[in-house]
Structure 1
Amino acid sequence: MIRILLAEDDRVMREYLTRALERSGYAVSAVDRGTAAIPLLESEPFDLLLTDIVMPEMDGIELAQKAGEMCPDLRVMFITGFAAVTLKAGKTVPQARVLSKPFHLRDLVMEVDRMFEMENMTRGA
């Protein structure tokens, strides 16, 4: 099962995204800030870091950079409502995908599915 680490400071959005991804067959661990994600990355394997960019304490870009150092194979997807930080994210973590708010849950699930399409085909899912 594909494991997703979700870092989102908005409680309602975090719960909403967690439910949608779990219903689609993903295992999700959710935290409310970037600094809370680091200990999980140190102790558990994840396939995808799904992170808001604008968060207190540690923004999603900094989290993605640290996560990339710790887990080089970890895929990254940013979610944001700010166009300016989208550009910064694309320059700082060029291999990451960016999904701009507002988005429909099916768009998020489709993007995550696409990221793991080849793995799903190999596993016969």
Structure 2
Amino acid sequence: MTSNPAPRILLAEDEEAMRSYLERALTNAGYEVSTVDRGTDAIPLLEKEQFDLLLSDIVMPEMDGIELAQRCAEISPRTKVMFITGFAAVSLRASREQPHAKVLSKPFHLRDLVLEVERVFEDQREATL
């Protein structure tokens, strides 16, 4: 009996401590996680690898998370998108510009992040049935 591979997550977060904290939590929850510290570094990965979820901070240098999500939709339309942000106004903009993306506001508990990621994958599974 073969088991399904772990869902793959691309995490784009410019703050090193937060990136490593989130990577560890998601890895411990059974996900395969690749990380980048800016949106521009995520693009080449999206072009050559398949990810199930893009988990992106919204406010980052060079390319914000919303622009990254738009590029992701062009490059890898099946990749789901979820945003994390500490800015309420930015959260509202993300909701307007990426209405299908979940927005999780900082600060949040790691348990809440893992639950939201699980919901994204549950919704994806239900949509394919």
Under a length normalisation based on structure 1, what TM-score does the superposition of the two structures give? 0.94
RMSD: 1.3
What's the offset of the Cα at 1:116? 1.0
Q: In the alignment, which of 59, 67, 70 is matched to residue 64 of structure 2?
A: 59
Aligned sequence identity (%): 69
Aligned residues: 121
Residue pairs, 1:79-118, within 5 angstroms:
79-117=84-122
User: Which position in structure 2 is the counterpart of 1:31?
Assistant: 36
| 1:69 to 2:74 alignment | yes
Secondary structure in 2 aligned to 1:116? Answer: helix
| 1:10 to 2:18 alignment | no
| 1:78 to 2:80 alignment | no
Structure 2 gaps, min length 5: 1-5
Given residue 33 of structure 2, which amino acid in structure 1 is its aligned partner? V
What's the offset of the Cα at 1:73? 1.1
Q: List 4+ stretches of structure 1 deviating above 4 A.
A: none
Secondary structure in 1 aligned to 2:95? Answer: helix
Structure 1 gaps, min length 5: none
Q: Deviations over 1:47-76 (max 9, x none)?
A: 000000000000000000000111111100
Q: Distance in 2 between matches of 1:76 and 1:12?
A: 22
Q: Distance in 2 between matches of 1:102 and 1:41?
A: 27
